[in-house]
Amino acid sequence: MTPTDFAALLSEFLAEYLPGQRNVSALTVKSYRDVFTLLLQYCEQVHGLPPEKLSLSRIDAGVILGFLDYLEKERHSCVSTRNQRLAAIHSFFQFAQSRLPERLLQFQRIMAVPFKRTVRPVAVYLSSNAVRSVLSRPDPATARGRRNRALLSLMYDTGARVQELIDLRVEDLRLAHPAHVRITGKGRKARLVPLLPATAALVKEYIEEAALNEPGQTSHPLFFNSRRDKLSRSGVRHIVIKYSAHPDGQDTSWPQTITPHTFRHSKAMHLLQAGNPLPVIQAILGHSDIKSTGIYAHADLEMKRAALERTPSHTPAAPAHSWLANKGLLNWLKSL
């Protein structure tokens, strides 16, 4: 069976263009793959077009709008998920323009399908005392507890994403002075993040105990399970949940749900509260756009209040007298 033009172009997009030219991670390729799997299923179920017969001529802006509507109404996707799916579709048809310029108008109409406006959630973070409490909970008397203490401390200290954390290998760390870690983030962009002495000491102790400092271990995953395979995202999430429950559950400032990303938000907020400028925080977190870092400046109500209090007020003082002190409102108005 001869593949359709859509099948051929999609294969090139996923297998060659994204990893080869865009240099995206395998996780991003899988995310894009899932979007087009859903689109193929939609076209077959709703339009009666099986994947082996689906050509580019059958995909227009109307089909994409129908697909997005299907995601929201049938699959109950939230607006942000709907927008993420649309971003992947836009990326594919932007790529398709250079391959099939004769279909430029069709592709540009698809790329003109707009994103839906959504309210950006406020970053949820832990206070400094809460972070200190969580990091003190792993049992230092057990090997598992020492590993988890090193993991949680490194995750908070660096503000690493969970995927960045589990992708770390022994060779990515330098524990001699000045201690730092090389983190590979989105788009396979690497950044160097300094380690505080206490965290470097915990990680060094863990590496020595796990025999990761022996010859031939430099490419071994830094954090691994009982089979010595690198930890999964769900494994890290389990560790975070295990140690992050509030002891009495009555502290309203303690977030109801704590995830690995909460540690990243917490580090960013604490850096901001310590007076660090946004570009420095951006470099530590690995944000490609400083707008992403700016969400933390919007999240801290106390910082906003303190900033306003430090700013001179130009509001005129209330008059010492009041019309209530006069015999009547009319007399008070005449006195103005």
Whether 264 is catalytic is yes
For the question of residue 314 being annotated catalytic, the response is no
Which member of 186, 191, 204, 246 is catalytic?
186
**pLDDT by residue, tens only, the chain of 336 residues:** 688 999 999 999 999 999 988 888 888 899 999 999 999 999 999 999 999 999 999 999 999 999 999 999 999 999 999 999 999 999 999 999 999 999 999 999 999 999 998 776 667 888 888 999 999 999 999 999 999 999 999 999 999 999 999 999 999 999 998 999 999 987 788 899 999 999 999 999 999 999 999 999 999 999 999 899 999 999 999 999 999 887 665 555 678 788 999 999 999 889 888 888 888 888 888 887 777 777 676 655 555 566 556 656 555 655 555 545 555 667 767 776
Please say if 109 is a catalytic residue.
no
In this prediction the pTM is: 0.69
186 catalytic? Reply is: yes
Q: Give the alpha-carbon dihedral of 90, 94, 96, 99, to 10 degrees.
A: 180
Pairing of strands 180-184, 190-194: antiparallel
Among 85, 146, 161, 180, the active-site one is 161
Q: Is 161 a catalytic residue?
A: yes
Q: Rounded CA gap, 86 and 32, in Å?
A: 10
Q: Which of 180, 264, 265, 267 is catalytic?
A: 264
Q: Is 261 labeled as catalytic in the residue annotation?
A: yes
Q: Is 237 exposed, middle or buried (0-12, 13-18, 19+ CB in 10 A)?
A: middle
Residues 186 and 175 sit within 8 Å (Cβ to Cβ): no
